[in-house]
Structure 1
Amino acid sequence: MTNSRAKPSHTKGKRSSPSSRLKGKKRTSSQPPAKKPPSKKPAKGKNQPPKLPKGRLFIVWGLLIAGMLGLGWRLYQLQIVEAAQLQKKARQQQTVSLRPYIPRRSVIDGQGNVLATDRIVYSLYAHPKLFSISREEVAEKLAPILEIQSQELIKQFNQRETGIKVTTGLTEAIAQQIQTLRLDGVELIEHYARFYPQEKIGADVIGYVDREHKGQAGLELGQKRLLERNLLNLYIRRSGNGAIMPAFLPDTSLGFDDLKLQLTIDLRLHRAARSALQQQLKKYNAKRGAVIVMDATDGSLLTLVCEPTFDPNEYYKSKVELFKNWSVSDLYEPGSTFKPINIAIALDAGVIKPNSHIYDSGAAVVDGWNIYNASKQGYGSISIAEVLQTSSNVAMIEIMKRLSTKDYYRRLLQLGLNEKAGIDLPGEATGSLKSEAVFTSKSIEAAVTSFGQGFSMTPIKLVQLHGALANGGRLVTPHVVKGLVDGSGHLHWKPDYPERKIFSQKSSYEVVKMMETVVSEGTGEPAQIPYYRIGGKTGTAQKAGPRGGYIPNAKITSFVAIFPVDSPRYVVLAVVDEPKGANTYGSTVAAPIAKSVMEALISIKGIPPSKGGKPITPKKKALD
């Protein structure tokens, strides 16, 4: 095959043979040249992906597989291993914890009179920059309603331009008066506050709550578990944007109920006791006083009054020391009011009998100490009842000497002199009794204890011990809480109070009969009530100092009564601390208080005259 092409033949009518046409692939001039088909084998190095080395390929695949495995492992950790923890975090982020305010339970006395309750009050705020009238005009309008001087209000308004808290604790009636003024820039904020409608009456028992609604004294502190209802946190679900999800709202009544805390206190008797106590405190310019009335059958307290006291609605205006009930929290030496307890100990021990006689010389020397009767005289041979009538210290020493100091100390421990009475009020003090080693080492310890000195207790503890004499020997627990009642007065819960036997029934009965002669023939004569049989014991004790010894010219006068003797039930104790002036004894200062309280109790409870009761028989008595 040559590269030159044959020239076309121009001879007319002459054809070339097929063989000649095929040979050399010659074409006629009228036909275009045939195109060569494209080569199936591409040119080397063009349009071909580069080949990777096998090592790199394995590395890429390895990285992909490792990534997938790592992702799978992390998913396993999130979904399986850490699932519980993550779900907890998610719930915490989606859940809102709320503690809605639920009013405290009301406190009522034994007759249903309200002593403490929650009520809606208002706080008044001022925003002077929003006043549409002058500050002086706003002050003039508010002053008579708030009972605040207008100049004082103007002074407050000038402090700043907004957010001035003018006053708080406004009643709904006052708030309505302010609203009718339609003053711009004056705002009333509603909230709950504790309210004590009886004011000072019962404050020494109830206590108070502070501005944060927390109990700080009395029952408000000691019984907060009963007063705060069921304070549970509520948990509400919310969506991603923070909106509350209605489907997840709690199906609950928020623990609200209509139960009230009912006390054993009788408000009528409480008022009478307070009035009688105040009268004697004023008469003798005394430091303070207390009156306690207990039902000895079960230990329920009908009244527990301390003076001076405070108004729980305005507790911040009172001294801190007034917030405690000193008849529960303070110790004192009971003096002669403890003598009936010692007589019961001696009777139970068998060292004396009800008809025994003791010789009283008027003076005794014990371990070098001279001891005398309060009257500075001796009474000769006297009966056990006359020992109490005359309140003989010397005779009491002779009686208790018949009991070994070790046995005497053991009996004092059985009475719980080194223990609390167990009252359901906070801050009760524990009695102070010397150690057995000290008590038994010197005769003087037992001697002074025989007439109620050398140890100390709370007034409520003394009432508890005399309650055991009244009820046949049972040491009941003094208490003020009766239980939780509903609006219809039905009792839903009541506490259980322990009791134990400390005296025989016979000895208790004999001592109460002896105490009756103290009122009818002895130092307790000022407590007589015509035709009622009353047992009692006066007491005038030196006042112990805070660092030992006794405070010069300071005394505590007291009188304890059990009545009616024919059916002993009530124990009444009146204590007056540091009366001043002449003739200040238990018989002159405290006994008249107890008499007034018993007269009120007779009227309130409808106690009939005693069988065998006699009219008053005044006689000249020894002082104590």
Structure 2
Amino acid sequence: MRHSRTYTYRPARAAPRRADGAVPSLHISRMRLLIVLVAVAAIMLRVGIQLVTLTGETVELNGTSVNLRQMARNEVNSRQVIEPTRGVIRDRAGNTLAMSIEAPWIVVDPTTISDARAADLARELGGVLGMPAAELEAMLTDRTTRYRVIRRWVDPSTARAILESLAAGEMRFSGVFVEYHQRRIYPAGPSGAALLGAVNDEGTGVAGVEAYYDDILRGRAGILTAEIDARAQPIGIGQQELRAANDGIDLELTIDPFIQSLAERELEQAIAIQSADGGVVIVLDVQSGAIRAMASLPSFDPNEYQQYPASVYNLNPATSQVYEPGSTFKAILAAIGLQTGRFSADTQVDDTGEIDRYGYRLGNWNRMANGLLTPGRMLYYSSNVAALQFAEMIGTESFYEYVDRFGFGRPTGVDISAEATGIVSSPASAGWSPIVLSTNGYGQGIAVTPLQLVRAMATIANDGVMMRPYLVERRCRGAECVSTQPRAIKQVVAPDVAQAVQRMLVESANHYAPVVWSEITGQGGDTWLVPGYEVAAKTGTSSIPNGRGGYETDGVIGSVVGFAPAKQARYAILVKIDRPRRDPWGVDTAIPVFQAIAEQLMRYEHIPPDAALAGPGQIAGELVAAHP
């Protein structure tokens, strides 16, 4: 719309005359006028040039090109990051294992606080936060920054008191601000901490599942660009541009809360009885590769993970730490030998108790001879002398080919951070000699992770098919979920080979039954390890390398790995006890844990017992009644 203006016409007035009646000379006046006009024109030309330049995109100021439109936008626009909410982690029953809440920080701008006020403010704030006044005063008077965090994750009531004081216009907390940030909390505390990991104050996963899935858990930040007023407040009718935040993906783990609790309870009890340094229990679903329990001690509280050494919270003992498997590896040896055809289930070797190899005398744990042994009896007596002879029958090339096929010396691919590869020496390795093959046959001189070993045993239980182990069952955004599909990696050994080793391991497991049952039943002979069920297991007692080319003289690892039930197995179970001080042998330290877990799992899965699979003292008739 054009605004109209009104002009009023006035006639020209005659030029005044001088007193003498003469008309003033116009020549001089015109000259002066010309000079004035030229000057004005020059000024206007300069101003015009400036005006024309100002209407463009840039101006030149002191030799610097400045974009005026961008300057204008910067002056009136505010760009605010909208923090996404990190995804929730739940177990397979829907229980929350990790979630994020809004929690307060106390921050200050030291440049707004005078030295005169700093001491008083330090006393006021110190009393509320429980911090030394001197420490606070030093922070308040350090003006190298305009943003200083005084305390993270303060109690909500403390933050509320400060906010109420500020809202009331009180000066005692002037210069103090309360900010709210996302804090990760773990309702179950130390339970499952090693597999979950933790999140740091910047919102980044630092270990476990939190670190492995950090990219999808953390989501994508949003951006709000808005026009603001002189007080830096958004203008209601101003222009706004919003890119919404995408919250993180929720994860549902494969962990079964009953099985996890069972594993943790039995492990904790065994460590206490044995005065051990720690241990690991893994329960793996044989047919899918899903991890149903992964317990390790010592643990940590992920809510306060910074209070622990990095070696505790950064490394999951089940996947990040290696050890020599000892005699548990003999089950793998038997499978390799049968698969390669280098020996059969009926092949015998002479166990003399001790044997010389390459300048060394190697022997059984008790140095006692057991006579002629088949692979099955090698497992039953846990004979080192028989194992090394069977390893030599297989030969170097075939042995290490199948060690690799069973997944040793490489990561399993489990979805958790910092997985170790293990250590496997071969003829291509520096310092390798033929004696390494001999000792590898009974699990010495080779290093594995607990997960690698239990997966290998699960492969035997699964008729030779290796499954990829995994921890995340589903990834969800709201009601839309994507499930993890079990993935078969390969057929490691033939089904008939796996089934032959399964039968050997049932005999091996029942050999350990008196350790658990002799005091209960009064029976001294062999009976069933888990009454009513065939289960498979192999124990191990392994030395601990001392880092100087030898082994510790006063520390061992007791372990067992197996599966239940032996036919159509549901679960593979590994138990590892570090440096037990009461009983050094795996049969004494780990078998009671294995037995208790296997028995509870059979009941949990409602697998009916067979009354015929029980010794006289195990009250076979009552087994069926106890398992409706």
TM-score over 0.5 for the alignment?
A: yes
Aligned to 2:100: 118
Give the corresponding residue for 1:461: 452
Contact kept, 8 Å, 2:223 with 2:242, in 1: the verdict is no
Matched residue SS, 1:116: strand
Give, in whole Å, the separation in 2 of the partners of 1:158 and 1:439.
56
Inter-CA distance 524–512: structure 2 relative to 1 (3 Å threshold) = farther
Q: Match of 2:189, SS? A: coil
> CA offsets, 1:152-185, max 9 Å, x none?
67x6599659989997645668878999999975
Q: Distance in 1 between matches of 2:225 and 2:337?
A: 68
Alignment counterpart, residue 393 of structure 1, candidates 377, 384, 387: 384
Separation in 2, partners of 1:343, 1:313 = 45
Q: Cα deviation per residue 1:224-264 (whole Å; 9 max; x = unaligned)?
A: 112112x134252537977757675345542237x521101
Deviation at 1:49, TM superposition (A): 7.5
Please state if 1:443 is matched with 2:434: yes
Matched, 1:276 2:271: no
SS in 2 for 1:500: strand
Partner of 1:425: 416
| Deviation string, structure 1 residues 463-487 (Cα, Å, up to 9, x no partner) | 1111111112222222211122366
- Say which SS state the counterpart of residue 276 (structure 1) adopts: helix
Specify whether residues 196 and 69 from structure 1 end up closer, same or farther in structure 2 by C-alpha distance, changes over 3 A only: closer
- The question of 1:606 aligning with 2:597 is answered no
Distance across 1 between alignment mates of 2:535 and 2:430: 34
CA distance in 2, matches of 1:558, 1:277: 12
Q: Distance in 2 between matches of 1:524 and 1:327?
A: 29
* Change in CA separation of 1:617 and 1:340 when aligned onto 2, cut-off 3 Å: farther
Taking the aligned partners of 1:523 and 1:608, their CA distance within structure 2 comes to: 20
CA distance in 1, matches of 2:164, 2:71: 51
User: Which of the numbers 349, 360, 370 marks the counterpart of 1:358?
Assistant: 349
How far the C-alpha of 1:285 sits from its partner, in A, is 1.5
One-letter amino acid of the counterpart of residue 537, structure 1: K
Q: 1:519-570 CA deviation, whole Å, 9 max, x = no partner?
A: 1235896492110111000000111122322111221110012111121121
- Post-superposition offset of 1:122: 4.0
Deviation at 1:287, TM superposition (A): 1.4
Give SS of 1:328's match. coil
Distance 2:337 2:427 in 1: 19
Aligned ranges for residues 497-536 of structure 1 at < 5 Å?
A: 499-522=489-512, 526=516, 528-536=529-537
Deviations 1:354-400, CA, capped at 9 Å, x for gaps:
23333222221111111111132111122321110111111111212
- SS of the equivalent of 1:271 reads helix
In the TM superposition, residue 129 of structure 1 has moved relative to its aligned partner by 8.1
Aligned pairs for 1:161-180 within 5 A: 169=153
Which residue is equivalent to 1:568?
Answer: 569
* One-letter amino acid of the structure 1 residue matched with residue 420 of structure 2: A
Matches within 5 A, 1:101-500: 101-122=83-104, 156=133, 169=153, 190-229=180-219, 231-234=220-223, 236-238=225-227, 244=234, 248-250=239-241, 253-256=244-247, 260-323=250-313, 324-438=315-429, 442-485=433-476, 491-494=481-484, 499-500=489-490
TM-score, with normalisation over the residues of structure 2?
Answer: 0.75
Pair 616,485 (structure 1): closer, same or farther in 2 beyond 3 Å: farther
Match of 1:553 in 2: 554
Aligned partner letter, 1:605: E
Alignment partners' CA distance in 2, 1:439 and 1:391: 30
When residues 384 and 159 of structure 1 are mapped into structure 2, their CA distance, relative to the original with a 3 A threshold, is closer
**Preserved contact between residue 524 and residue 537 of structure 1 (Cα < 8 Å):** no
- Whether contact under 8 Å (1:389, 1:523) holds in the other structure is no
Alignment partners' CA distance in 1, 2:56 and 2:190: 69
2: distance between equivalents of 1:199 and 1:265? 16
The corresponding residue for 2:596 is 596
Q: 2:585 matched to which residue of 1?
A: 585
More displaced, 293-302 or 608-617? 608-617
Deviation at 1:76, TM superposition (A): 10
Structure 1 CA distance for aligned equivalents of residues 133 and 56 of structure 2: 66
2-structure distance, mates of 1:75, 1:122: 47
SS in 2 for 1:326: coil
Q: Retained in 1: the 8 A contact 2:288–2:486?
A: no
- 1:101 & 1:524 partners in 2: Cα distance? 60
Counterpart CA distance in 1 for 2:338 and 2:154 is 62
Q: 1:421 touches 1:477 (CA, 8 Å); kept in 2?
A: yes
- SS of the residue aligned with 1:386? helix
CA distance in 1 between partners of 2:493 and 2:357 (Å): 29
CA deviations 1:564-622 (Å, max 9, x no partner) are: 112112110010111113x420100011111222233234333332596334889xxxx
Contact in 2 for aligned 1:524/1:538 (Cα 8 Å): no
Q: 1:321 Cα deviation (Å)? A: 2.0
The superposition leaves residues 314-346 of structure 1 with CA deviations (integer Å, 9 ceiling, x where unpaired) of 223323221121221111110111111111110
Structure 1 letter corresponding to 2:223:
L
* Same amino acid, percent of matched pairs: 24
Q: Provide the rounded CA distance (Å) in 2 between the counterparts of 1:606 and 1:356.
A: 39
| Structure with max Cα Rg | 1
RMSD: 4.7
Counterpart-to-counterpart distance in 2, 1:544 and 1:440: 17
Residue 420 of structure 1: how far off its partner (Å): 1.2
Distance 2:274 2:306 in 1: 29
C-alpha distance in structure 2 between counterparts of 1:328 and 1:46, whole Å: 104
Partner of 1:40: none
Distance 1:422 1:434 in 2: 21
Structure 1 residues 531 and 355: CA distance shift in structure 2, 3 A = same
The 8 Å contact of residues 362 and 394 in structure 1, kept in 2 or not, is answered as yes
C-alpha separation in 2, matches of 1:541 and 1:313:
35
The answer to whether the 8 Å contact 2:289/2:486 transfers is: no
Tell me, in whole angstroms, the C-alpha distance in 2 between the residues paired with 1:292 and 1:208: 20
How far 1:452 sits from its partner (Å)?
0.6
* Amino acid in the other structure paired with 2:208: G
Contact 1:236/1:244 (8 A) holds in 2: no
Q: Distance in 1 between matches of 2:136 and 2:157?
A: 28
**2:525 matched to which residue of 1?**
none
Distance in structure 2 (CA, Å) of the matches to 1:443 and 1:566: 37
How many Å apart are 1:309 and its aligned residue?
A: 0.6
**TM-score of the two chains, using structure 1 as the length reference:** 0.75
Per-residue CA deviations over 1:26-48 (Å, capped at 9, x if unaligned) read: xxxxxxxxxxxxxxxxx9x9999
User: Which residue identity lines up with residue 575 of structure 2 in the other structure?
Assistant: A
Shift of 1:93: 7.2
Contact 1:483-1:495 within 8 A present in 2 as well: no
Shift in alpha-carbon separation, 1:201–1:48, aligned structure 2, 3 A? closer
What is the alpha-carbon distance in structure 2 between the residues aligned to residue 408 and residue 440 of structure 1? 18
Q: Deviation digits for residues 36-84 of structure 1, max 9, x if unmatched?
A: xxxxxxx9x999989xxxxxxxxxxxxxx9xx999999999979xxx9x
Residues of 2 paired with 1:311 and 1:74: CA distance? Answer: 62
